[in-house]
Amino acid sequence: MINRSNQLLPQRILTWFIALVWLANGLFCKVLGLVPRHEQIVARILLPAYSHSFTVLIGISEILMAIWILSSFKTKLNAIVQIVIVATMNTIEFILAPDLLLWGKFNSLFAFIFILVVFINGFYFSKK
């Protein structure tokens, strides 16, 4: 069971916001395929023949990340993993598929802001 009684309200809000970002991108955009642009990006970066399967696997991984975030298990490690994944993913997309990104190369700005939110939640608010 998740013990949220010792968390501050801003931390709970940030934790749910971050988890919802991963869940929405994983479930709706990738697993359910509601945003075809995600599969196009995967096709450009990885093998086009397997882009659907890779996209679904990435989506499942993102759903698992949301669950990990909400579990509060090893929050600092979780924050580090998120930061590395978001930074790596966005760097690769910035170089190989900027035309497919929602905001083009400005996506990196939103990724940076998301990384800051994850850092603040994982290290500033976290007492573990």
Q: What percent of the chain has pLDDT over 90?
A: 84
Whether the predicted pLDDT of 128 surpasses 70: no
Note the pLDDT tens digit of each residue in 40-82.
999 999 989 999 999 999 999 999 999 999 999 999 999 999 9
Task: Using pLDDT thresholds of 50, 70 and 90, give the confidence band for residue 1.
Answer: very low
Q: What is the mean pLDDT of the chain?
A: 93
Residue 104's pLDDT is what? 86
What is residue 121's DSSP assignment?
A: I
Whether the predicted pLDDT of 115 surpasses 90: yes
Whether the predicted pLDDT of 6 surpasses 80: no
Residue 36's pLDDT is what? 95
Contacts 24+ apart (CB under 8 A), 92-100: 92/45, 93/41, 93/45, 96/44, 96/45, 97/40, 97/41, 97/44, 97/45, 100/37, 100/40, 100/41, 100/44
